[in-house]
Amino acid sequence: MKRTLAAAACAALFAAALCAPAAAMLSVNAETDRDTVEIDGNLYLTVTVAGDSANVPEPKLPNMQNFNVYSSGRSQSISIINGKITTSVSFSYILTPRFIGVQTIPSISVFNGREKAVTPELKINVVKAAQQPKQAQQPAQAQQPRQRPTRAARAAADKGEQIFLKAETDKKTAYPGEQIDISIRFYTSVPLSSNPQYVPPSFTNLISEDLPPVRNGETDIGGVRYAYSEIKAALFALAPGTAEIKSAKVIAQVPSTDPIDPFDPNFFQKFMSMSGAQGRSLEFNTDPLKLTIKPLPPGAPAGFDGAVGSYSISASADRRDAKVGEAVNFSLTLSGRGNLKAVVAPKFPDLPDFKVFDTMSSLDINKEQDVIGGKKTFTYILVPRGEGKKTVPPIKFSYFDPKAGAYRELQTDAVTLNVEKGDLGGKNLNFGAPGPAAPVTASGSDIRYVSDRTSGSALPLLAASVLELPWWVHAFPAALLLLSFWMARANRFKLANPLLFRARQARSEAAKDLEEAEGLIKAGRTNDAVSLLYDSFLDYLSDKCGVKVSALTIRKASTLIKERFPKVSERSLGEIKELWEALELRHYSPGAADAEGTSDLAKKYFLLMELLEKELR
């Protein structure tokens, strides 16, 4: 009985020990720099995601109707202590309020494929803008530099337009990966009834990065005083050829100036319109812009891997003294200006004196003076194989400098480590011939005599009763041990193949989104349903392909799907493109989303998902 219970207890403890790594430590926290903000001010939101793996998921921001949201960069830190990896990533956003009153920032969630973490809601009090005294206001205005209107703005003002929206870029031609600044300005010379609604443009062959915050000011155009709001973004071309910036849109409420008939049945509504309570809803659009993306010149160095910008590189180890078999963190840091998200790790040299483990990267992006830059750190785990002075040779990194129009090549300094013997290095084993045998002496007695007295212990009776139990009771500990081994193996396989499990769970996640979208449609919230379907469809394709397709164009996403799944049919690719375009159109044009059309899109999404489940394998 003791052996049976001990085996069961050991099996249970062993199973718990093996299954413990499966319990991830995913957490998310959201905080703002203040709880009260003026209607013309900005609010900084920081979302911090932490986990016990090298990569943590990005937070999924909800649809915020009361704020305009702009990405303001991210920073990441990775720590390795006793072989345990802990990652913390902070995502920064700038929020500009749209309405006065107590506004809510909804819960923000993250999901790593195994567990989900959610932040609580945040309450923000939005108040009226503080009015400065006129005496203090005039000198401040005199000190402000005058903003020159663009050529497009002057042309619109010359036509007598009181409200217009214009977009311009700082350059018309660029190299792939070179930063292109786009400025979208909304000019008005008449008061508005409410805050305008901004719909950003979509891009072809370009990726964008916000450059917050929104700039506000005044300027004179042709003798007319205009107030303007400016939104800027940084663009990076993906490939040579033509890039397109499609139309941006602003929907504004303009007070009506039509004369009022006192006997008109709609007298009250028109009177309130002239009073500023409501007005006509007008839509303003920018003209589409096209850019020429030049190919990179020939003559790239052998180690060039597509990095464009201006960079510096350095290498360091967390310590210079180590022992054989101990892990050393070796960091390679790239700093400078450019799209660091697209920069890959330089080629690491062969190190016969070390055992090298996989690379982990951390990213810290800043947007000082509207220039995208920061630093990206690649961390390697080096384990010395032998003692002595061990050197990591210089590591080369090549990039293209668009300002100079030439390739640059950098290299780090060599890093030398002093490696000593490990903890087992001082132990010596003697395999020489044995000496003369020592005499045999008695150390104790191993004979125990049997007593002829009857023992009052119940242990023999208990053991006899246990032996009479059915065979399957004795097999239970062995079955529990086998189950623990199977669970541990399945857990290790799941952790080693996260993309496979994401692909398997893609359909179930999409089914949940479809069910939620149907509820939104029944509740009359068609715009929210379209946004949910759009995000769900892109997440479904991303989980199936293992790549975030929202950062790609439809054409590139179709090419990627064809490469990953050669058996996919042209009909399916056509259906993917058609559904993508339809969802994108309604997502960025909320007025086109009606209940019947949204329901048809949900049905088409469900049927296409059933077809793709058979082909995307």
Q: What is the predicted pLDDT for the residue at 8?
A: 47
Residue 398 sits in the same domain as residue 503: no
Residue 113 sits in the same domain as residue 152: no
Asked if residues 110 and 60 have their Cβ atoms less than 8 Å apart, the reply is yes
**313 in a structural domain:** yes
**91 in a structural domain:** yes
Residue 211 sits in the same domain as residue 280: yes
Which range scores top for mean pLDDT: 60-74, 126-140, 255-269, 374-388?
374-388
**325 in a structural domain:** yes
Q: What is the CATH number of the domain that holds 525?
A: 1.20.120
Residue 252 sits in the same domain as residue 348: no
pLDDT exceeds 90 at position 290: yes
**582 in a structural domain:** yes
Which tokens in the block code for residue 304? 């060039």
* 434 or 511: which leads in pLDDT: 511
The residue whose two tokens read 């929202």 is 550
* 598 or 154: which leads in pLDDT: 598
Q: How far apart are CA 17 and CA 11, in angstroms?
A: 10
pLDDT exceeds 60 at position 436: no
Burial status of residue 262 (CB atoms within 10 A of its CB: 0-12, 13-18, 19 or more): exposed
The share of the chain scoring above pLDDT 90, in percent, equals: 25
Distances (CA, A) of 75 to 42, 50, 210, 374: 20, 12, 16, 9
Asked if residues 75 and 364 have their Cβ atoms less than 8 Å apart, the reply is yes
Asked if residues 274 and 260 have their Cβ atoms less than 8 Å apart, the reply is yes
Considering only 247-261, 386-400, 419-433, 484-498, which range has the smallest mean pLDDT?
419-433
Residues 6+ apart with CB under 8 A from 404: none
* 66 or 389: which leads in pLDDT: 389
The residue whose two tokens read 């009763």 is 465
pLDDT in tens, 564-603: 888 888 888 888 888 888 887 776 655 555 676 788 888 8
Considering only 207-216, 429-438, 467-476, 559-568, which range has the smallest mean pLDDT?
429-438
Q: What is the predicted pLDDT for the residue at 616?
A: 78
Residue 288 sits in the same domain as residue 341: no
Residue 153 sits in the same domain as residue 289: yes
Check residue 565 and report its DSSP letter.
-
Q: How far apart are CA 555 and CA 105, in angstroms?
A: 35
N- to C-terminal Cα separation, the chain: 51
Residue 79 sits in the same domain as residue 155: no
Q: What is the predicted pLDDT for the residue at 550?
A: 67
**368 in a structural domain:** yes
* 531 or 176: which leads in pLDDT: 176
pTM > 0.85: no
pLDDT in tens, 20-51: 444 447 889 999 988 998 887 888 899 998 88
Considering only 442-446, 466-470, 477-481, 605-609, which range has the smallest mean pLDDT?
442-446
pLDDT exceeds 90 at position 93: no
Its domain, for residue 568, covers 499-615
Domain edge (last residue) among 420, 450, 473 = 420
Q: What is the predicted pLDDT for the residue at 593?
A: 55
**340 in a structural domain:** yes
Residue 95 sits in the same domain as residue 154: no
Domain edge (last residue) among 378, 397, 420 = 420
Mean predicted confidence (pLDDT) in 384-397: 93
Residue 363, strand partner residues: 376
Residue 183 sits in the same domain as residue 122: no
Q: How far apart are CA 91 and CA 98, in angstroms?
A: 22
Q: What is the predicted pLDDT for the residue at 298?
A: 93
pLDDT exceeds 50 at position 536: yes
**378 in a structural domain:** yes
Stated length of the chain? 617
Domain edge (last residue) among 420, 453, 474 = 420
Model confidence band, residue 449 (pLDDT cutoffs 50, 70, 90): low
**166 in a structural domain:** yes
3-state DSSP of 87-107 = EEEEEEEEEEECCCEEEEECC
Check residue 337 and report its DSSP letter.
E
Cα angle 243, 248, 254; round to 5: 165
Q: What is the CATH number of the domain that holds 103?
A: 2.60.40.1510
Q: What is the CATH number of the domain that holds 407?
A: 2.60.40
- Count of domains forming the chain: 4
Residue 393 sits in the same domain as residue 348: yes
Mean predicted confidence (pLDDT) in 345-365: 84
Describe the chain by its helix, strand, coil percentages, rounded to 5: 30, 35, 35
pLDDT exceeds 50 at position 141: no
Residue 233 sits in the same domain as residue 314: no
Please name which of 542, 576, 540 lies closest in space to residue 558, comparing C-alpha atoms. Answer: 576
Q: Which amino acid is at 41?
A: G
DSSP 105-170: E---EEE-SS-EEEPPPEEEEEEPPPPPPHHHHHHHHHHSPPPPPPHHHHHHHHTT-SEEEEEEES
Q: How far apart are CA 360 and CA 373, in angstroms?
A: 20
Residue 121 sits in the same domain as residue 164: no
